[in-house]
């Protein structure tokens, strides 16, 4: 009897041990080998908290981008154009739509709504030679547009659609923008509608890029590193208040035409002035001072007696222009216009571009060591081809022609006296011919070269090579102002450093 009880007890203990082993083995299988899936509600992915808690300033900064994108994007349209095409005159570095296309093909760009009743500003190169223009709004409605007017000298155009109650953009003040300021580019790159990119203003007053193939072209761009690609042309560059500060126009591009770091936008102050005239008159009746100007570098500043490089030098006076009727002379340096400092040619050109013919401007001029004030009433340019300056000829008698050649070793160039035939060819009564310029010399640094005639030095007529050598030697350790002329009749001033040796 007791033996049976003992055997039964052992069986119970053995069963219990098997149950415990089963539970442990089951737990190992579930946790170690994943053979049993957890319930969907029990799954938790990632950490429980973000690694950084944004403060109020960071959150507000992010919201600014979000609000601008939300508000401004409906003010930007996509423009589809069928256009007669021509070869791109701007080369491969700066990309424009419609490059190297066949006789007629479709391209696309962007535009900014500037009035509730359907006026839209875009780039001239977007609608140039257009035979059909279609506008697609943010709400996907499509309209046929007509070209109201174009201004090739600023690469701007205005088109119009028959619509009402459109969301018009707020046009800001490009004079107040700063390098380093955050901006956003909004447009339709590569036909990807309503694309927003962000960056900073990289530089202001970018000119001499060769984007406008005209001697009177106005290049005064805002440079940004916000990504801009083909199709962005005509779109908006906006600040973090949502104000449009520029119209995106071109990019520095790779051989394939894609963005490689920098884009360029036309300042909105120029855009506003041009757009108003195009809407009112269908063209721009821009005023001109009637001068050819050049940059004042360090050597020129020293040769003129300026304390620092500033202003722009008047290289020549356009016949019949506004300046020809006032006391403005070649060799003058324009320091200010209407009280606004002029640091480079772009400053003067972009300011005058906002003024119509008949407007009077005040110029502050540096002449012979003094500042003087002059008023000029801007005139409309009657003929774009009449852009040759007036040559101010010396009244000094011509020196006797001979073959005298003088080496000016301290500046690295050789000059000789002019022959009678050369005086006739260059339409000068005096001067010397540059026959050779040494590599890496001061003369080469100032782009002087063989075939140029030096008419004046230190504002004195140059009669012969010996006189020029003396004038240059008298300026050792300083700089001298030269007036030179090329074989096409173009005159310009050059500042030349004279080493003290």
Flag whether pLDDT at 135 surpasses 90: yes
Count CA atoms within 13 Å of residue 392 on its CB side: 19
453-478, pLDDT tens digit by residue? Answer: 999 988 889 998 888 888 888 888 88
Q: Please check whether residue 398 lies inside any domain of the structure.
A: no
Same domain, 178 and 277: yes
Total domain count for the chain?
4
Can you tell me the distance from the alpha carbon of 7 to that of 207, in angstroms, rounded to the nearest whole number?
105
Q: Please check whether residue 292 lies inside any domain of the structure.
A: yes
- The answer to whether 448 and 432 have CB atoms below 8 angstroms apart is no
Question: What CATH number is given to the structural domain containing 343?
Answer: 2.30.42.10
For position 89, what pLDDT does the model report? 46
What residues make up the domain containing 466? 405-497
- The answer to whether 248 and 223 have CB atoms below 8 angstroms apart is no
For position 398, what pLDDT does the model report? 38
Flag whether pLDDT at 435 surpasses 50: yes
Q: Please check whether residue 64 lies inside any domain of the structure.
A: no
Question: What CATH number is given to the structural domain containing 138?
Answer: 2.40.10.10
Catalytic residue from among 125, 202, 239, 303: 125
Catalytic residue from among 151, 155, 225, 347: 155
* Least confident span in 89-103, 338-352, 482-496: 89-103
For position 231, what pLDDT does the model report? 78
Same domain, 302 and 321: yes
Q: Please check whether residue 192 lies inside any domain of the structure.
A: yes
Flag whether pLDDT at 147 surpasses 70: yes
Q: DSSP characters for 377-426?
A: E-EE-S-TT--PPBP----SPPPPP---EEEETTTTEEEEEPPHHHHHHH
Question: What is the average pLDDT value for the chain, to the nearest integer?
Answer: 82
H/E stretch holding 146: strand 146-151
pTM (predicted TM-score): 0.69
Q: Please check whether residue 10 lies inside any domain of the structure.
A: no
Q: Return the percentage of the chain with pLDDT > 90, whole number.
A: 32
Can you tell me the distance from the alpha carbon of 67 to that of 62, in angstroms, rounded to the nearest whole number?
9
Can you tell me the distance from the alpha carbon of 272 to that of 112, in angstroms, rounded to the nearest whole number?
12
Active-site residue, 155 included: yes
Q: For residue 497, what are its two tokens?
A: 């450093």
Same domain, 414 and 490: yes
**Cα 193 to chain centroid, rounded:** 24
Give the mean pLDDT of 158-184. Answer: 94
* More confident call, 133 vs 217: 133
For position 210, what pLDDT does the model report? 60
Same domain, 371 and 324: yes
286-314, pLDDT tens digit by residue? Answer: 888 888 888 898 888 888 888 898 999 99
355-390, pLDDT tens digit by residue? Answer: 888 889 999 999 988 999 999 998 887 654 333 333
Buried b (16+ CB within 10 A) or exposed e, 351-366: bbbbbeeeeebebbbb
Residue finishing a domain among 134, 160, 186: 160
Q: Please check whether residue 55 lies inside any domain of the structure.
A: no
Active-site residue, 125 included: yes
Flag whether pLDDT at 499 surpasses 50: yes
* More confident call, 142 vs 253: 142
- CA torsion through residues 291, 297, 301, 302, sign: negative
Flag whether pLDDT at 211 surpasses 60: yes
For position 385, what pLDDT does the model report? 37
Catalytic residue from among 110, 233, 273, 399: 233
Flag whether pLDDT at 58 surpasses 80: no
**Per-residue three-class SS string for 279-333:** HHHCCCCEEECCEEEEECCHHHHHHHCCCCCCCEEEEEECCCCCHHHCCCCCCCE
Can you tell me the distance from the alpha carbon of 454 to that of 463, in angstroms, rounded to the nearest whole number?
10
Residues 6+ apart with CB under 8 A from 474: none
Same domain, 178 and 276: yes
């Amino acid at each position: 009897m007791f033996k049976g009880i003992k055997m039964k007890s052992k069986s119970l203990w053995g069963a219990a041990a098997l149950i415990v082993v089963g539970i442990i083995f089951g737990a190992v299988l579930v946790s170690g080998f994943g053979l049993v899936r957890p319930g969907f509600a029990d799954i938790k992915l990632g950490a429980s908290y973000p690694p950084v808690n944004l403060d109020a300033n960071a959150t507000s900064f992010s919201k600014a981008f979000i609000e601008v994108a939300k508000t401004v994007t409906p003010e930007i349209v996509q423009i589809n154009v069928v256009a007669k095409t021509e070869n791109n005159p701007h080369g491969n570095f700066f990309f424009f739509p419609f490059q190297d296309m066949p006789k007629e093909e479709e391209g696309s760009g962007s535009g900014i709504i500037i009035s509730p009743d359907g006026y839209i500003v875009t780039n001239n190169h977007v609608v140039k030679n257009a035979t059909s223009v279609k506008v697609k709004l943010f709400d996907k409605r499509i309209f046929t547009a007509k070209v109201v007017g174009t201004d090739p000298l600023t690469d701007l155009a205005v088109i119009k659609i028959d619509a009402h109650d459109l969301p018009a953009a707020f046009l800001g003040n490009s004079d107040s923008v700063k390098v380093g300021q955050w901006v956003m580019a909004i447009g339709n790159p590569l036909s990807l509608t309503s694309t927003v990119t962000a960056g900073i203003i990289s530089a202001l007053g970018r000119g001499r890029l060769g984007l406008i193939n005209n001697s009177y072209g106005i290049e005064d761009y805002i440079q940004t590193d916000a990504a801009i690609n083909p199709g962005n042309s005509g779109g908006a560059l906006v600040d973090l208040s949502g104000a449009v500060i520029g119209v995106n126009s071109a990019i520095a591009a790779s051989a394939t035409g894609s963005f490689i770091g920098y884009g360029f936008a036309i300042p909105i102050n120029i855009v506003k002035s041009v757009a108003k005239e195009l809407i009112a008159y269908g063209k721009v009746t821009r005023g001109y001072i009637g001068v050819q100007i050049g940059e004042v570098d360090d050597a020129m500043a020293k040769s003129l007696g300026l304390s620092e490089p500033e202003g722009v030098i008047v290289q020549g006076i356009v016949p019949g222009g506004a300046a020809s009727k006032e006391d403005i002379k070649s060799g003058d340096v324009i320091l200010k216009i209407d009280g606004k400092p002029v640091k480079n040619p772009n400053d003067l050109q972009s300011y005058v571009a906002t003024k119509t013919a008949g407007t009077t401007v005040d110029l502050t001029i540096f002449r012979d060591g003094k500042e003087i004030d002059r008023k000029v009433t801007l005139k409309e340019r009657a003929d774009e081809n009449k852009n040759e300056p007036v040559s101010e000829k010396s009244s000094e008698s011509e020196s006797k022609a001979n073959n005298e050649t003088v080496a000016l070793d301290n500046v690295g160039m050789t000059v000789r006296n002019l022959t009678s035939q050369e005086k006739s060819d260059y339409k000068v009564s005096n001067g010397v011919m540059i026959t050779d310029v040494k590599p890496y010399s001061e003369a080469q640094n100032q782009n002087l070269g063989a075939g140029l005639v030096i008419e004046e030095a230190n504002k004195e007529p140059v009669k012969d090579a010996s006189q020029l050598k003396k004038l240059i030697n008298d300026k050792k350790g300083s700089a001298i102002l030269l007036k030179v002329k090329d074989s096409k009749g173009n005159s310009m001033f050059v500042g030349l450093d004279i080493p003290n040796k």
